[in-house]
C-alpha cells in the first residue's frame, strides 16, 4: 500500500501527489501586476530567477535545484492534491494558426512536420485542445523534463504524441499549477 499512498486520481488523471510549491517570501501568486510590482521592488537584492519561480508547482522529485544560489530565501512547501485540481494547461491557437501553419520559412520547417502528420491550419483548434489535454496529463504525472530556467521563468519539455509520432513541446510554468505552451515542437523523441 505504501507505494500507492501518494497516488490519486485528479481531474481524470492518475497522479503522484508528492508535489511542492516553490515559495519566495512576500510575493503573492496573483494578481500578475502585483507580483511584477513586488519583483521589481525586490530586484536589487533578490534573484530574478527565484522571484519568477515563486508560486510554481513541481513534482518534488522533478523540480529546479533548491537552493538555487547561496543565501537563497526560497523554500518548498508541500501542497495538497486539492490544489492540483486547479492545474491548467493553456495552448494558444495562434501557436498553430500564426506560427506553425504560416509558411515553411517562418515555421523553419515545422509546418512540414505537422502537414506530414496530416494536419492543416483548419486543425489549429483541435491541435490546441489536444496539446492541452496531453500536456496537463503529463504534467500532473510528473512526465516532463526541466528545460531552461532564467528571468523569463522555468520552461519544461512535455512529450506529445500525434499519429504515432512522439516529440517534445515547450511549456512555461506559471504560478498556481498553470502551464502555457511556448513552442509546439522542440525536437523528436522518436525518429520520424
Partner 1 sequence: MNFNKMIQLKNDNYLKSNNIYKGAIGFVISSSGEYLDALFYNDNIKGDTAYIQVKKDDIQPYDLPVSKELMIYLKTQIKENNLDRKNYFKTLPFKQYDMVKLIVEKDKYAKLNIHKGDTGVVMEDYAVHDYILVDFGTIDGQMKYSKGCISVNIKDIELVNI
Cβ at position 151, least distance to partner 1 in Å: 5
Q: What CA–CA distance (Å, rounded) separates 117 from 81?
A: 36
Between 7 and 41, CB nearer to partner 1 = 41
Cβ at position 17, least distance to partner 1 in Å: 30
Cβ at position 62, least distance to partner 1 in Å: 20
Between the CA of residue 43 and those of 27, 96, 151, 153, what are the distances in Å?
12, 35, 11, 15
Between 17 and 51, CB nearer to partner 1 = 51
Cβ at position 161, least distance to partner 1 in Å: 16
Q: Which of 86, 100, 87 is CA-nearest to residue 169?
A: 100
Binding site for partner 1 (CB under 8 A): 26, 31, 33-34, 36-45, 48, 52, 94, 98-99, 102, 105-110, 112-113, 148, 150-153, 155, 170, 182-183, 185-188, 192
Between 14 and 43, CB nearer to partner 1 = 43
Sign of CA pseudo-dihedral 104, 108, 113, 119: negative
Between 177 and 184, CB nearer to partner 1 = 184
Q: Which residue do the cell numbers 494578481 mark?
A: 31
Percentages helix, strand, coil for the chain, rounded to the nearest 5? 30, 30, 35
Amino acid at each position: 500500500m505504501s507505494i500507492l499512498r501518494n497516488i490519486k486520481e485528479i481531474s481524470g488523471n492518475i497522479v503522484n501527489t508528492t508535489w511542492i510549491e516553490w515559495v519566495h517570501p512576500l510575493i503573492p501568486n496573483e494578481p500578475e501586476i502585483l507580483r511584477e510590482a513586488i519583483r521589481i521592488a525586490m530586484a536589487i537584492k533578490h534573484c530574478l530567477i527565484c522571484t519568477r519561480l515563486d508560486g510554481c508547482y513541481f513534482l518534488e522529485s522533478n523540480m529546479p535545484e533548491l537552493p538555487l544560489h547561496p543565501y537563497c530565501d526560497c523554500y518548498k512547501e508541500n501542497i495538497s492534491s486539492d490544489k492540483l485540481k486547479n492545474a491548467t494547461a493553456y495552448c494558444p491557437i495562434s501557436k498553430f494558426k500564426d506560427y506553425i501553419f504560416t509558411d515553411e520559412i517562418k515555421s523553419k520547417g515545422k509546418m512540414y512536420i505537422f502537414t506530414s502528420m496530416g494536419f492543416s491550419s483548419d486543425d489549429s483548434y483541435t491541435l490546441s485542445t489536444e496539446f492541452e489535454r496531453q500536456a496537463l496529463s503529463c504534467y500532473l504525472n510528473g512526465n516532463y523534463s526541466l528545460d531552461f530556467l532564467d528571468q523569463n521563468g522555468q520552461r519544461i519539455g512535455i512529450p506529445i504524441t500525434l499519429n504515432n509520432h512522439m516529440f517534445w513541446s515547450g511549456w512555461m510554468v506559471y504560478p498556481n499549477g498553470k502551464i502555457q505552451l511556448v513552442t509546439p515542437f522542440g525536437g523528436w523523441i522518436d525518429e520520424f
